[in-house]
Chain A
Amino acid sequence: MRNQHQNGTNHQVRHYQALSPAQINRFGLVELGSSGPLYRFCVRLFGILALLGIVGFMMRVASSGFSDRAAWGYYVATVVFIFVTFQAAPTVAFAIRAAKGHWRRPVSRIAELFAVVGVLNLILLLPVLFLIPPITGGRKTFWFELHWLLPFSAPGFFLFFGMLALVVCGLCLLYLSALPDFAAARDAKGGIYTGLARGWVGSQRQWKMLKSGLNLLGAFYLMTFVLVTTLFAWDVSETLVPGWKDAIYPAFHSITGLQGAIASTILALGIARKFGGLKNHLHMEQFWGLSKPLLATSLLWFYMGWSTFLTYWYGRTLAEQHVLQLLMFGPYFTVFVMSFLLKFLIPLLFLIWNRVRMSIMGPVLIALSILTGDIFEMVRLYVGPFTITEVGHEMTHVPAAHLPDFADILIIAGAISGAIFIYLVSSKIIPRISLWDMKEGMLLTRVQSFHRAEVLVIGKPE
């Protein structure tokens, strides 16, 4: 065991904290079920806010019913916001695992835990299904004239089952990943963990299955996520706007999701480190590692948005002018500028500096900026389209901006709080750090001297 070399010239080694497997277990299991005052305060606060959200929802139903689509724009934007941020986070777990980054091990679980938010969002999605106009309504739609084949409202159908698949997959992923830890908890505590860890003995076959299972489920989660984003993009915003003919939009939306996923993860890491007592597990390295894809996704977000913009501007057909008007320069101009600043300009201006990337505060603040930007972004992409009533190929007039009312604010705050509430509660049942992953990492790492320097030697078993 080596201690930190605070003044070493070699950064990798500097933050390398070797713990013994027993230490890891002990630390990870002790917090399960127990809670501090801050935690309790947060749970109560977010719980109450979530309840207020339900009140807001009731108000919305009472004042607008389900037929006035425009009134529901903020509700839908909130659902998609939770989707592209919290619900997206488990994709990060898969991505870093697949990339075999050696710094990934303490990150995965914190990202995977977000899968539980999916349960809430699935419920929140239900009203949305009634708000999307059916394909028989004469609107331009991806589902063409398939209504003879699909006697139900096709968009809602696919969206719901896609979301269901995603949530189920996420929960399975979380469960599978936590299984060896449940076993450890079972051995240490028993209780519910006896049931949860049923059958896990840690045989080689089980490990092999666990690893490939995680890969498969992770890949499936990522693909389902992209698919559901695509469906959101198509059916819940794009086809509502006549003339919005943007092939890149689903991919752009998916990138928003991946950016949101990383941002959510970083924010969760930051909070966990600062207030959740994970100082010894989470180091600059983790934030540094995630800040690179965060920058990349920010760039990609701009790149794809620019592609659309440039193409529309050069094309300059009347339809394109109207769409640009609606989404960028017209009623939602401010919203667009905010999302542009928060999701691209600020991340770019700061993250290009290695100094910022190689810090903890930097990435966390940028992540916060991006998540805030995402709220604006979803308002731009969903509230606007929901105010449009005409169908056809071309928007003839651009509707005015639709502002949130009190109910909308309650809904936004409530839904987001609900998601945080669920996350907090779950983290008391499932270890926030993948104990087995950490232990494996310890086994594969050595510190050695090489010529005159001290270096890390990392085993690459595959």
Chain B
Amino acid sequence: MAEATRWGMVVDLDRCTGCQACVAACYAENNLPLNTEEMVVEDRAHNWIRIERYWEGEYPDIKARFLPVLCQHCANAPCEPVCPVYATYHNSEGLNVQVYNRCVGTRYCINNCPYHARFFNWWETPLPDPMPHYLNPDVTVRSKGITEKCTFCVQRIRRATRNAANEGGRQVADNEIQPACAQACPTNTIIFGNLANPNSTVSKLAKNERHYRLLEELGTEPGVIYLKKVDPHAKSTPERH
């Protein structure tokens, strides 16, 4: 790519309703295994994006706060240095990439991801026929013993860049790439784009005064920028602004 690229995302918490459309979209796009009841009970379910719900206050003055959490594609990703085989690495476009067929399944990266964004294939999880028909051919189906996680729908990024290259080597347009979750999200909570381009929608949104990054104090430099929830009735304490 000619243009400097740092793929990033803005998640506007004031829009999110916790509806889970993004979760289902990610299941469908990325060939996630079926999260059986056992997997959920055993804390082994795969949700590359999940909607965390925090409680604040007590009945009747209680608030639920929704927070979509996915891989933050950290510029300083703690998951990367611990991998002994380079199965997770950083690419030149700012993506934290997971190379499934290189992963030996140490799960060290899972330990070290402060966002709990990584998932391990505890079993082989075949789909009953004819369900494999809906599998996305652009995305590997992971076998047992491998760690996986949100890729920012890298296959869509690849497709768009390839198309752009085929169309006379033009630049990928702003908002041309939509990860499945962003595409589905009814409220437009999720916006994706190139943070390195100051004119992109994400870059502009990222400068919104409500912006913050999750667990920023860890110095991971996430590529996902959150915009704060607006709550006129929030019990505002000095630390929480």
Contacts and interface: CB of A to CB of B under 8 A. Distances in A.
User: Direct A–B touching in the complex (beta carbon < 8 Å)?
Assistant: yes
Contacts of A320: 219
B81 A318 contact: no
Interface residues of A, number: 9
A325 interface: no
A393 B216 CA distance: 14
A260 B59 CA distance: 60
B76 to A, nearest CB: 6
Contact of A319 (B76, B81, B217): B217
A319 B216 CA distance: 11
Nearest to B239: A392
Contacts of A321: 219
Interface string B191-235: 000000000000000000000000011110000000000000000
Interface string B142-174: 000000000000000000000000000000000
A317 B219 contact: yes
A316 B215 CA distance: 13
B81 A317 contact: no
A31 interface: no
A148 interface: no
B210 to A, nearest CB: 21
A154 B198 CA distance: 53
A394 interface: yes
B77 to A, nearest CB: 11
A320 B219 CA distance: 9
A450 interface: no
A314 B218 CA distance: 11
Nearest to A394: B217
A319 B215 CA distance: 12
A398 to B, nearest CB: 15
Interface string A372-393: 0000000000000000000001
Interface string A215-243: 00000000000000000000000000000
A241 to B, nearest CB: 16
Nearest to A243: B217
A314 B81 contact: yes
Contacts of B81: 314
A141 to B, nearest CB: 19
Contacts of B216: 318
Contacts of A319: 217
Contacts of B218: 317-318
Of B76, B216, B218, most buried by chain A (CB within 10 Å of CB) is B218
A312 to B, nearest CB: 11
Nearest to A392: B239
Interface string B123-155: 000000000000000000000000000000000
Contact of B76 (A316, A393, A394): A316
A316 B219 contact: yes
Nearest to B112: A314
B66 to A, nearest CB: 26
Contacts of A393: 217
Contacts of B217: 317-319, 393-394
Nearest to A319: B217
A317 B114 CA distance: 12
Contacts of B219: 316-318, 320-321
Interface in B62-88: 76, 81
Contacts of B76: 316
A394 B81 CA distance: 25
A158 to B, nearest CB: 30
A320 B76 CA distance: 14
A317 B218 CA distance: 4
B127 to A, nearest CB: 40
Interface in A3-53: none
B72 to A, nearest CB: 15
B103 to A, nearest CB: 21
B212 to A, nearest CB: 14
A309 to B, nearest CB: 16
Interface string A297-331: 00000000000000000101111110000000000
A318 B218 CA distance: 6
A245 to B, nearest CB: 12
A319 B218 CA distance: 8
B213 to A, nearest CB: 12
B221 to A, nearest CB: 10
Nearest to A316: B219
Most B CB within 10 A of own CB, among A314, A316, A394: A316
A314 B216 CA distance: 16
Contacts of A317: 217-219
Nearest to A393: B217
A355 B81 CA distance: 43
A153 B217 CA distance: 31
Nearest to B82: A314
A316 to B, nearest CB: 5
A321 B219 CA distance: 9
A20 B217 CA distance: 70
A343 B218 CA distance: 32
A317 B215 CA distance: 10
A243 to B, nearest CB: 9
A322 to B, nearest CB: 10
Interface string A124-167: 00000000000000000000000000000000000000000000
A393 B217 CA distance: 10
A316 B218 CA distance: 7
A393 B218 CA distance: 12
Nearest to B76: A316
Interface in A222-278: none
Nearest to B218: A317
15 contacts: A314-B81, A316-B76, A316-B219, A317-B217, A317-B218, A317-B219, A318-B216, A318-B217, A318-B218, A318-B219, A319-B217, A320-B219, A321-B219, A393-B217, A394-B217
Given A318-B216, A318-B217, A318-B218, 8 more contacts: A314-B81, A316-B76, A316-B219, A317-B217, A317-B219, A321-B219, A393-B217, A394-B217
In the complex, the 6 A-B pairs of residues with the closest C-beta atoms, listed nearest first: A317-B219, A318-B219, A317-B218, A316-B219, A318-B217, A317-B217
